[in-house]
């Protein structure tokens, strides 16, 4: 591949559409390495800065060690785009890029698609706390995708986020749409592993103001000391299916809630449906080791195993998998939690807010997270698991997280025994 270096001193590409030609203009970058770019002004985009084009297509490009301003909230790392009708990243690699927001990619008002991209060791270095200090989206930062009143979409498929960091919130991915615009975001077959942020929300992913469809993806070992070790979301309509959440942490001593997922209760929309997901070995310092629900939540065919809460009032560290502080929680058939609850402050065995008599409580005998012949890692069930054939077919996806068919009586969780 052709390699172009900014020599640790210069931006590599700076492209702005000619006057009155933006919508019909294509800017393409393909089959190259862009390294050591530097952007000293507030716009960022050390490798690519693009503004007001019709389309940007970046295919088979590696971005390595590009750096924009580390404290200006508008400065995004390797790539910064604004006002694009269409942005495509396909088969790209982003390593060791840094900026105040969006260590690898930052976009404003651009509809975008990411396919088979890898983000590793990128960092959002701003300190956060106020809008102008950055620190969000260790790998990707998105500020709206609608353009001229048109409701646009964003999608990711087959992407991997590993060891990205943010010094405020959203260790890997920060997506904020504009409220009331009807924007939507689809994530499919993606992996989020060992991403982190401090001190605020969303160890891997922070989402606000739109529709979220999350499928066939894995969140493993992501962390925050605050809320939502894997995911934090607000003002949402969310559908989460065939996903695995393993070992995510929302822990700072006895603080932290929503070890895997935190569904915030603010905003006009706060509706979530979670189906055939596996939650295992997640932990919250305070409560809700699996899911903190602040809105309306429907659960079907979900498996919760060995999730922990570290609250000092609880002598048994297991339990608190789902805590409901929202308007409603609907428990459909086919859910399992093991162990079934926790021992409370006065030695009384308590059940989680969500548990009813239809929730099973047997050890599902989960295997460790591994490559089980699918696009993302999963936790396999043995043939003698109590979770086998105990789910409901109503609303269950036709295939499991690996893409293997569900036939007859379905299994609980994201993995279907074949």
pLDDT 10s digits, 234-285 = 999 999 999 999 999 999 877 789 999 999 988 788 999 999 999 999 999 8
Query: How much is the pLDDT for 376?
Result: 99
**C-alpha pair distances (Å), 117 with each of 91, 124, 156, 195:** 5, 18, 9, 16
Q: What is the mean pLDDT of residues 147-173?
A: 89
Query: How much is the pLDDT for 49?
Result: 92
The residue among 366, 379, 390, 367 whose CA lies nearest residue 415 is 379
Q: What is the mean pLDDT of residues 93-107?
A: 96
**CA triple 383-384-387, angle to 5 deg:** 90
Kindly list the domain boundaries of the chain, sorted by start residue.
Answer: 1-188
Q: What is the mean pLDDT of residues 146-170?
A: 88
| Per-residue pLDDT tens over the stretch 346-379 | 343 344 555 666 789 899 999 999 999 999 999 9
Greater model confidence, 109 or 406: 406
Helical H segments across 366-410, by residue range: none
Q: What is the pTM of this model?
A: 0.94
For residues 223 and 196, the answer to whether their CB atoms sit within 8 Å is: yes
The residue among 407, 378, 375 whose CA lies nearest residue 187 is 375
For residues 67 and 77, the answer to whether their CB atoms sit within 8 Å is: yes
Q: DSSP secondary structure string, 85-100?
A: SEEEEES-EEES-EES
Query: How much is the pLDDT for 89?
Result: 98
Query: How much is the pLDDT for 58?
Result: 98
- How many Cβ atoms from other residues are within 10 Å of residue 32's Cβ? 17
In the predicted structure, residue 314 carries a pLDDT above the cut 90: no
* Strand intervals (E) in 282-383: 283-284, 291-293, 296-300, 303-305, 308-309, 322-324, 328-331, 336-338, 341-343, 349-351, 369-370, 378-379
């Amino acid at each position: 591949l052709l390699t172009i270096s900014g020599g640790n001193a210069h931006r590599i590409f700076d492209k702005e559409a000619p006057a009155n030609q933006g919508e019909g203009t294509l800017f393409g970058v393909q089959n190259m390495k862009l390294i050591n770019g530097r952007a000293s002004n507030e716009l960022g985009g050390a490798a690519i800065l693009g503004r007001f084009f019709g389309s940007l297509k970046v295919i088979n490009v590696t971005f390595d060690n590009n750096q924009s301003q580390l404290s200006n909230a508008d400065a995004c790392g390797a790539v910064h785009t604004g006002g694009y009708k269409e942005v495509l990243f396909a088969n790209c690699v982003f390593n060791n890029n840094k900026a105040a927001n969006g260590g690898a990619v930052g976009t404003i008002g651009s509809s975008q698609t990411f396919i088979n991209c890898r983000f590793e060791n990128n960092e959002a270095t701003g300190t956060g706390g106020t809008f102008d200090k950055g620190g969000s989206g260790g790998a990707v930062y998105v500020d709206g995708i609608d353009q001229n009143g048109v409701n646009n979409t964003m999608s990711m498929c087959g992407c991997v986020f590993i060891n990205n960091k943010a010094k405020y919130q959203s260790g890997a991915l920060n997506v904020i749409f504009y409220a009331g615009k009807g924007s939507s975001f689809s994530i499919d077959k993606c992996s989020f592993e060992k991403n982190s942020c401090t001190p605020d929300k969303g160890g891997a992913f922070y989402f606000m103001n739109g529709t979220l469809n999350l499928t066939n993806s894995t969140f493993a070992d992501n962390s925050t000391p605050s809320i939502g070790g894997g995911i934090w979301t607000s003002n949402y309509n969310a559908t989460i299916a065939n996903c695995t959440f393993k070992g995510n942490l929302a822990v700072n001593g006895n603080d932290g809630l929503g070890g895997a997922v935190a569904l915030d209760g603010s905003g006009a929309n706060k509706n979530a449906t979670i189906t055939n997901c596996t939650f295992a070995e997640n932990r919250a310092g305070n409560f809700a080791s699996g899911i903190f629900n602040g809105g309306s939540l429907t659960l079907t065919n979900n498996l919760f195993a060995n999730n922990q809460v570290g609250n000092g009032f609880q002598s048994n560290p297991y339990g608190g998998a789902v805590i409901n502080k929202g308007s409603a929680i609907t428990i459909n058939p086919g859910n399992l939690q093991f162990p079934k609850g926790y021992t409370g402050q006065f030695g009384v065995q308590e059940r989680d807010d969500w548990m009813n008599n239809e929730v099973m409580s047997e050890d599902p005998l989960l295997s460790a997270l591994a490559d089980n012949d699918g696009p993302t890692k999963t936790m396999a069930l043995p043939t003698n698991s109590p979770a086998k054939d105990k789910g409901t077919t109503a609303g269950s996806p036709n295939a499991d997280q690996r893409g293997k068919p569900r036939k007859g009586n379905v299994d609980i969780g994201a993995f279907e025994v074949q």
